[in-house]
Amino acid sequence: MTDRQSFRNAMSHLAGAVNVVTAQGAQGPMGCTVSAACSVTDEPPTLLVCISRASRSHAAFTGSGALCLNVLSAAQQHIAQRFADSSATSAERFALAQWDTLATGSPVLRHALASFDCQITGAMEVGTHTVFTCSVRAVRMHDGEDGLVYFSRAYHRLPVSTAQEA
């Protein structure tokens, strides 16, 4: 079996979109930054989101039964950094931006590139994380902004393509 550090070093070469996942918990809005999220199927629209069980926000996701996956733009890197900062309070995190709600009541980042408002339909513990399967109830998009990816242990801007399709 591969050791943990070799695995982490190799995974640093797998670029991932930067997302803030939010939920309305018993103590108010909670959230964290994740790059481990992907689509599962479009019929029915379903996502997979992985969240560390060590995260202070973890209980909000399991308790609420809902979450919102907010895909960040390059201009929102400061939000990603704050939501990844374990010393930041929930109030400090949510004060950085404007938030709305859609179908589930989870906080939706107002100018995210895309927001997927979801009901959690399944959860499985794998190692240090919980893998959530999420049924998408509503989406909202904000096109035209550069994307934000995490690669080689750093944030990078992903420019919007200006090429025309043939």
Q: What is the pLDDT of residues 41-74, one digit of tens each?
A: 999 999 999 999 999 999 999 999 999 999 999 9
* 130 SS3 class: strand
Is 141 among the domain residues?
yes
Print the domain residue range for 54: 24-151
In sequence order, what are the residues at sequence separation of 6 or more whose Cβ sits closer than 8 angstroms to the Cβ of residue 20? Answer: 31, 32, 33, 34, 70, 72, 79, 80, 83, 109, 112
Task: Measure Cα distances from 32 to 35, 39, 159 in Å.
Answer: 10, 19, 24
Is 159 among the domain residues?
no
Is 156 among the domain residues?
no
Higher pLDDT, 161 or 75: 75
CB-based contact 24:112 (threshold 8 Å): no
Q: What is the pLDDT of residues 83-125, one digit of tens each?
A: 999 999 999 999 999 999 999 999 999 999 999 999 999 999 9
Is 66 among the domain residues?
yes
Neighbours of 58 (CB within 10 A): 18
Is 13 among the domain residues?
no
**Domain total for the chain?**
1
pLDDT of residue 165: 53
Q: Give the domain CATH number at 127.
A: 2.30.110.10
Is 165 among the domain residues?
no
Is 92 among the domain residues?
yes
Neighbours of 93 (CB within 10 A): 23
Q: pLDDT-derived band of residue 1, with 50, 70 and 90 as boundaries?
A: confident
CA angle 85/91/92 to nearest 5° reads 45
* 44 SS3 class: coil
d(CA 109, CA 31): 11
Q: What is the pLDDT of residues 124-150, one digit of tens each?
A: 999 999 999 999 999 999 988 999 999
